[in-house]
Amino acid sequence: MKKGGDSGLYQLILRLPKKSRIRVGKLRTFDFPSGYYVYTGSAKRGLSARIRRHLSGLKKKFWHIDYLLAKSEIVEIRVFRRHNLTECELARRTASREGAELVVSAFGASDCRCQSHLVFFRSRHEW
In the prediction, which pLDDT does 2 show? 47
Instruction: Tell me if 66 is assigned to some domain.
Output: yes
Strand partners, 78: 11
> Which tens digits make up the pLDDT trace of 38-54?
999 999 889 999 999 99
In the prediction, which pLDDT does 21 show? 97
Instruction: Tell me if 1 is assigned to some domain.
Output: no
Tell me the residue length of the chain: 127
Instruction: Tell me if 113 is assigned to some domain.
Output: yes
pTM of this prediction? 0.90
Range of the domain at 117: 8-126
Instruction: Tell me if 31 is assigned to some domain.
Output: yes
CA dist 35 and 14 (Å) reads 8
Domain count, the chain: 1
> Which tens digits make up the pLDDT trace of 18-38?
999 999 988 889 999 999 999
